[in-house]
Amino acid sequence: METPEQIRDRILARFPGASVAVVPNPGPAAQHSLLAGADLGREIATFLRDDPVLRLDYCSNVTGVDWPKQGFLEVVYHLYSMALRHGPVILRMRTADRADQVTLPSLTPVWRSCEFQEREVYDLFGVVFAGHPDLRRILMWDEFKDHPMRKDYVEPDDYEWEPTPHGDILAKARRHYPAPAAGAEGKGNP
């Protein structure tokens, strides 16, 4: 199978002016990935699927990653070929920021397996996929606000209060319920 540099060169030959770069991966696994710009994402994906040398017809995994320090959300696609038995080719796309410019092109029209996984990335990270046939929350309930897998997610503190050894849950519950009931202190609480 070709190296990521060769794939990048062929993508640039096919789509001149596209923003494609190789992201090296330190460590023993050496799974280097291709960073594609959001504007030609779907076209590049279609090229990767239909190209006779690569024929990446199977999208195995779609992952969202939150990079708060770098200031963007990232979606990583792991592509394999069932026809030619090779892979992985890893495709990444990054949003412009983490607040309101969080739209990326959906690759569900290219690979049907992205359908539920992109819904999950939307649900848990907040990335909006343009062109997804049915973009709504999948794991959380529909009226839920906020995106739980982001690094700056603050969980609600209205827990059912229980006497457990977990000091931080007790502290959060005390902030929410200001006066705990008398005699409700269990053993072993700090």
Q: Which of 61, 53, 107, 113 is nearest to 83 (CA)?
A: 53
Please identify, using beta-carbon distances, which residue of 18 and 22 lies nearer to another protein: 22
Residue from 3, 5, 21, 116 touching another protein (CB under 8 A): that is 116
Question: Interface residues for another protein in 129-158 (CB under 8 A)?
Answer: 137-141, 148-149
Residue from 93, 115, 129, 170 touching another protein (CB under 8 A): that is 115
Contact assessment for residue 99 and residue 123, using Cβ atoms and an 8 Å cutoff:
no
Give the DSSP letter string of 37-87.
Answer: -STTHHHHHHHHHH-TTT---EEEEEEEEEETTTTEEEEEEEEEETTTTEE
- Annotate 138-156 with three-state secondary structure: CCCCCCCCCCCCCCCCCCC
Please identify, using beta-carbon distances, which residue of 9 and 162 lies nearer to another protein: 162
Q: Which of 74, 77, 76 is nearest to 102 (CA)?
A: 74
Please identify, using beta-carbon distances, which residue of 43 and 120 lies nearer to another protein: 120
Structure tokens at 32: 């280097």
Question: Interface residues for another protein in 60-89 (CB under 8 A)?
Answer: 60-61, 63, 65, 76, 78, 82-83, 85, 88
Instruction: Give yes or no for residue 27 binding another protein (CB under 8 A).
Output: yes
Q: Which residues contribute to the site for another protein (CB under 8 A)?
A: 25-29, 31, 57-61, 63, 65, 76, 78, 82-83, 85, 88, 90, 111-117, 124, 137-141, 148-149, 162-166, 186-188, 190
